[in-house]
Amino acid sequence: MTTELEDLAGRLREFARVREWERFHTPKNLAMALAGEVGELVAEFQWLTAEESGSPDPDALARMRTELGDVTLYLVRLADVLGVDLLEAAQSKLDDNELRYDADSYRGSARKAPPSPPAT
């Protein structure tokens, strides 16, 4: 991971250690907590039109920022507990997507590509 993501992961390790919360931070529980926070993030957009979502008012943007922060905390913590490098996992997935969704075939289209071997 990057130095700053590593720093955040380290801060989260200490945060859990000092409060003796490690036993709650099983990957299973962290995945659930992440899902809970993503639910709160989604709720910020549910009644907005696409256009409104692109230009949120300051209060709405502040709430979105808060929820994005919560999601990031649990994502980084979960990856750290599992020993997964988030940046590498993301870059690797994007490499795959660049091959599967070649620009000529998929320009302007949202259709899903067939699974590439090995099946994800």
Which one among 10, 92, 113, 116 touches a second copy, defined by CB under 8 A?
A: 92
Q: Which of 10, 13, 26, 113 binds a second copy (CB under 8 A)?
A: 26
Task: Output the 3-class SS for the chain.
Answer: CCHHHHHHHHHHHHHHHHCCCHHHCCHHHHHHHHHHHHHHHHHCCCCCCHHHHHCCCHHHHHHHHHHHHHHHHHHHHHHHHHCCCHHHHHHHHHHHHHHHCCHHHHCCCCCCCCCCCCCC
15 sits near a second copy (criterion: CB under 8 A):
yes
User: Looking at 10, 93, 113, 116, which residue binds a second copy (CB under 8 A)?
Assistant: 93
Q: Is 84 a residue that touches a second copy (CB under 8 A)?
A: yes
Q: List the one residue from 57, 76, 100, 116 that touches a second copy (CB under 8 A).
A: 76
Smallest distance from the beta carbon of 117 to a second copy, in angstroms?
14
Does residue 80 interact with a second copy by CB under 8 A? no
